[in-house]
Amino acid sequence: MVDKTYIPEGEVPPASQIGATLEALGATIAARREAGEGSYTYRLLTGSVDGVLKKVMEEAGEVALAAKDVEGWATSSLAAAVALDAAANGAGAGTGPVDAAGALADSDALSVQLPPEYGEAVDHLRYEAADVVYHLLVVLERYGISLDEFAAELNNRMTDEERPAGAVRLHGEYVRRGK
């Protein structure tokens, strides 16, 4: 898989990239409580709650649409490869079971060319996912749920094998499933 990420030369990466990023973003969002109307985050934190809740739902919907777009490009690429294979080899060619990677499981392997639009759709999905997380963090800040408390919620759901050593947990009285 292509590594789409990089670290600028000479910079030392933090122990956890996503942890450091969420911490920084959470701190920025919290600090925007004092920023004034010029800040989008301030407006989400202090305006009608419907505003930020609508954004969370809208962005989640955009994630779903973006993912469907990725699926669409994958499916049409696979269909095009099957049609090409059938045309090149005659009926019965390339008709074995297709695995998750879109390749035929038998020796008559099918070569699927993913178009540039597929990669662009994946990038768009990542973009919309970031929009959801940003708006979700604004909601958490609005209701005083710290990132550590949020982490504890996730950690409490993990098995002992999954949970990282020293991970923060919720006290039993704050574990309320569903409500």
Ligand X SMILES: N=c1c2ncn([C@@H]3O[C@H](COP(=O)(O)OP(=O)(O)OP(=O)(O)O)[C@@H](O)[C@H]3O)c2ncn1[C@@H]1O[C@H](COP(=O)(O)O)[C@@H](O)[C@H]1O
15-30 burial: b if 16+ Cβ within 10 Å, else e: eeeeeeebeebbeebb
d(CA 39, CA 41): 5
Output the residue with the shortest Cβ distance to ligand X. 41
Assess contact for 101 and 57: CB atoms under 8 A: no
144: left (phi over 0), alpha (psi -120 to 50) or beta: left
Which residue, 23 or 131, has its beta carbon nearer to ligand X? 131
Among 22, 23, 30, 39, binds ligand X (CB under 6 A): 39
Span near ligand X by CB under 6 A; candidates 33-41, 81-89, 97-105, 162-170: 33-41
Least gap, CB of 151 to ligand X (angstroms): 19
Binding to ligand X by CB under 6 A, coded x per residue (else -) over 40-79, reads: xxx-------------------x-----------------
Choose between 23 and 168: whose C-beta lies nearer to ligand X.
Answer: 23
Which residues have a Cβ under 8 Å from the Cβ of 155 and sit 6 or more positions away? 163, 164, 167, 168, 169, 170
Which of 131, 150, 153, 163 contacts ligand X by CB under 6 A?
131
Summarize as ranges the residues that interact with ligand X (CB under 6 A). 25, 28, 32, 39-42, 62, 131, 134
